[in-house]
Amino acid sequence: MFRVAFQIFRFRGLLATLTSRELKARYRGSVLGFLWSLANPLLLLAVYTFVFSVVFKPGDRGGMTPYALFLVSGLFPWIWTQASALEGSMSLLANSGLIRKAVFPAELLPMVAVLSNLVHFLFALPIVITAILAGRILGYPVGGISLVALPAVVLLHLPMVSGLALGAAALTVHFKDVRDLLSNLLTLLFFLTPILFSLDSIRHLAPIWWAVRLNPFTPFILAYQDVLFRGQIPDPLLWTQMALVSLVLWAFGAGLFERLRETLVEVA
């Protein structure tokens, strides 16, 4: 896994160029261009606010009010994770011509998916923070000084997402149905992650509570909700859990990629 990290650092300039090219290609021909990175989260926030404030008005949500802000504080980090894993899983197959060049480090391709989706996530954050500030003006106890911890949460989240993308990319080269399996697994994990609900709301359902609590994505979502929504710094236990999950997933994904490296060119 150290060789993978070294290669990514060594070719960081090329990685930045490939990420920029990917972002430009995604919006090429569109009228708004990069403004879609701001428009998409703004529209998503507007839709959720409308649905849960006008169309569907649930009763007491016990610490999840306003619900639209609670929802997007966990949803946007999940979108980054899911999109990076699925796009990363197909990155080697979609660029098989590049990895056949001996001088090209194959691990850059899954990282392009991770970083390009990270850019979209970072563009969404100002929208969420602006909505949080508006919520505070309206009297809701959301956000606040805890926002200073947000960069640390993102930096801890990055190795986890990267390891997931690297491992999925290496496996998909050898087993083409990995992407479909991963898509279904992520759908299951989405509903076992406290994004649509809070942990407190299912505390009376002990088996489900434990399944959600042991979900490796849960510490990250809870940390984002603490920083963005609850206005508090995550507790030391949560920081430890995030660091441990990131380390394990990075070691697994990068180690698997390194182990299968010699066969990637032959199979892709």
Binned at pLDDT 50, 70 and 90, residue 128 comes out as confident
Most confident of 23-37, 51-65, 119-133, 223-237: 223-237
Burial class (CB within 10 angstroms; exposed 0-12, middle 13-18, buried 19+) of 231: middle
Binned at pLDDT 50, 70 and 90, residue 214 comes out as very high
Of residues 205 and 99, which shows the higher confidence score?
Answer: 205
* Average pLDDT score over residue span 126-135: 80
Binned at pLDDT 50, 70 and 90, residue 110 comes out as very high
Residue 268 has pLDDT above 60, yes or no: no
Q: Phi and psi dihedrals of 97, rounded to 5?
A: -65, -35
Cα 268 to chain center, whole Å? Answer: 26
CA–CA gap between residue 84 and residue 82 (Å, rounded):
5
Of residues 156 and 33, which shows the higher confidence score?
Answer: 156
Chain segment 234-259, per-residue pLDDT in tens: 999 999 999 999 999 999 999 999 98
Mean pLDDT computed over every residue of the chain: 84
Residue 109 has pLDDT above 60, yes or no: yes
Of all residues in the chain, what percent carry a pLDDT higher than 90? 42
Number of domains in the chain: 1
DSSP symbols for 220-262: HHHHHIIIIII--PPPHHHHHHHHHHHHHHHHHHHHHHHHHHH
Q: What is the pLDDT of residue 176?
A: 84
Q: What is the pLDDT of residue 198?
A: 87
Q: What is the pLDDT of residue 157?
A: 97
Domain that holds residue 107: 2-267
Binned at pLDDT 50, 70 and 90, residue 146 comes out as confident
Q: pTM for this one? A: 0.87
